[in-house]
Structure 1
Amino acid sequence: MKNPILINGTLLLIAFIWGFGFVPQRMGLEYLDANAFNATRFALGALTLLPVLLLLKSVTKAAAFNLPTLMLGVGLGFLLFGGAYFQQTSLEYTTVANVAFITGLYVIIVPTIGYFLGHRYRAIVWIGGFIAIGGLYLMTGSSSEISLRGDLLALVGAVFWALHILALARKAGAHNQLVLAFYQFMFCALFSAVFSLLAEPKLIPDSFAAWQWPLINGVFVVGIAYTLQVWVMDHAEPFLASLILALEAVFGALAGYLVFSERLVEAAMMGAVMMLVGCILAQLPGSETSIEDSVAAETD
């Protein structure tokens, strides 16, 4: 990992933006359905990147019109679409805090899938992960406002987010990351727009009040945070990154408390502390071992 302070600091910034990004997502539901909101915010996120792409000399025509980058952008855009759709829809049925917490379950989904892809982790990393899961349980299980439907939708979204993290970690390094970010936003917006038009003809916000929430989310959550994620996942280890990104649950709970007066009980606060402890444990030196190292150790 290059410059762990920079990498971990970037991941923490992303988690912070994502956590507070639940506020405009929740507010936007008053004006637009899930797919219309996502189509608007991801289109705005792509537009945020467009001036940067045009001004940067490092973004050549060859990089901008690279077919493998385009195809990867389609795949990543679909994963973003799935995660964003289920997450946004879940907000119609459950609290901001619950959605933030359950989304954080990718902290254990990522290493489980990664295990079958050849990643091996030392015991301390798994311990940190399960402590974080325990924290998530306290935060969700202690809530008096649980909706089974909303929580299940958020869980399906968490699977899409986990797949997105793994795909970025394995593939982003071989492509121009700004171009890749632009393509994934553009195709996510396209998928969302198609599904929105099939279900509800109203796609474009028709008032400033309707525009402001996808605009805020599109610039900060999509244009800034998701673009940073494309860059940082080329340098970070997926499981350790997912642990820090899962802190969006803590920031989401804080946002729900500050903006919507959603109650934070003592168990939820203890859960937040457990998540922080899990992240710290997993960051201890020597946390990851490659599959080759594991095989070598078994043959010694």
Structure 2
Amino acid sequence: MKKMYANLMLVSVTIIWGGGFIATAEALDSVSPFYVMMIRFMGASILPIMISFPKLKRLNRKDIKHGIIAGVFLFFAFAFQTFGLQYSTPSKNAFLTATNVVFVPYLLWLLWKRKPNRKEIIASIVCLFGIALLTLKKEAMMLTYGDLLSLICALFFALHIIALERYSAHIDAIAMTAMQMLTAGILSTICALCFEAPPASWNASAIGNIAYLIFVSTLLAYLIQTYAQKFTTANTASLILSMEALFASIFSFLILHEVMSVQMIIGAVFIFASILYIEYQPKKTIKKQQI
């Protein structure tokens, strides 16, 4: 598959997650955080396990370890994001979560000596500036305890993106998704049973939102992401996936009738510009690569 098509698939993931942001917020009105995570990850693991069970049985220990590592990163990312949201504002949480675009190139440098080039550094800074314009308000500049948790969440999302780049190329996408979902689901179940009370009641809205989180925002989105990252880089993936904040704002405008300011529109332009910049290759460069 061409990298362009893989990147378009990642864009579809951000659209799904943009709607998932609203579904998660509404689901948390009725169900506690770890129970939401338990239900979405365990629910999302069932179908890929059933489909890929013959392939899962043939995986070696190294592949299984890689799937578990990706699932652990995913669990901690969502856990820190959820608790960060309890002590911070949604806009700051969205912004700080998206700082994984800056973490990714430097983690690749730290862990695998892959030094970021000037283009990757500029693109990540431009993208971060755009996300700040899109999500932050003037009164939200001071860091709090919740903001620290959100930054840790961003670190784990960055590690998850890198793990998929390194490990998914050698493992079937459905099998990799199954291992991620099951690992995150088991850890969420342990935390839910230990630290939270089960939901006392369910309403139709909560059931609908949970269904969206299981089948669309989790199963479909992570299956697409896992497959697409076989054909693109972690740096590009992190930039594209940061568009979740953009589509969350668009859905909030369309569905919740929130105001879309000029500042937010300018922020969206900067995010798009960063992605176009990192992907743009002059014709001379392309010809050299073909020779």
TM over 0.5: yes
Partner of 2:125: 130
Q: Is the partner of 1:213 in helix, strand or coil?
A: helix
Partner of 1:221: 217
Q: Is the partner of 2:115 in helix, strand or coil?
A: strand
The 5 Å alignment of 1:1-300 reads 2-53=1-52, 59-60=54-55, 62-63=57-58, 66-116=60-110, 117-142=112-137, 148-202=144-198, 206-285=202-281
Distance 1:9 1:98 in 2: 27
Distance 2:87 2:257 in 1: 17
Amino acid at match of 1:129: S
Amino acid at match of 1:172: S
Cα deviations across residues 62-84 of structure 1 (Å, max 9, x unaligned)?
A: 43x54333322222111111111
Deviation for aligned residue 1:254: 1.5
Distance 1:153 1:256 in 2: 24
Deviation for aligned residue 1:12: 0.6
Distance 2:44 2:5 in 1: 24
| Structure 2 runs not aligned, ≥5 long | 283-291
Cα deviations across residues 209-235 of structure 1 (Å, max 9, x unaligned)?
A: 433222211111111111111111122
Residues 110 and 164 of structure 1, relative CA distance in 2, 3 Å threshold: same
Deviation for aligned residue 1:61: 5.9
Distance 1:162 1:61 in 2: 26
Amino acid at match of 2:162: L
Distance 2:144 2:19 in 1: 23
| Structure 1 runs not aligned, ≥5 long | 287-300
Please say which of residues 228-237 and 162-171 is displaced more in the overlay: 228-237
Distance 2:69 2:93 in 1: 24
**Cα RMSD after superposing both structures:** 2.4
Please say which of residues 128-137 and 140-149 is displaced more in the overlay: 140-149
Distance 1:40 1:139 in 2: 31
Distance 1:127 1:169 in 2: 21
Partner of 1:294: none
Distance 1:122 1:176 in 2: 31
Q: Is the partner of 1:235 in helix, strand or coil?
A: coil
8 Å CA contact 1:26, 1:96 repeated in 2: no
Q: Is the partner of 2:197 in helix, strand or coil?
A: coil
Deviation for aligned residue 1:93: 4.5
Count of residue pairs brought into register by the alignment: 280
Cα deviations across residues 97-152 of structure 1 (Å, max 9, x unaligned)?
A: 44333221111110011122222343223212111111122223336577844433
Cα deviations across residues 165-190 of structure 1 (Å, max 9, x unaligned)?
A: 11111122222221121011011011
Distance 2:254 2:197 in 1: 34
Distance 1:205 1:88 in 2: 21
TM-score normalized by the length of structure 2? 0.87
8 Å CA contact 1:103, 1:249 repeated in 2: no
Deviation for aligned residue 1:26: 0.4
Name the % identity. 23
Please say which of residues 24-33 and 142-151 is displaced more in the overlay: 142-151
8 Å CA contact 1:114, 1:166 repeated in 2: yes
Partner of 1:292: none
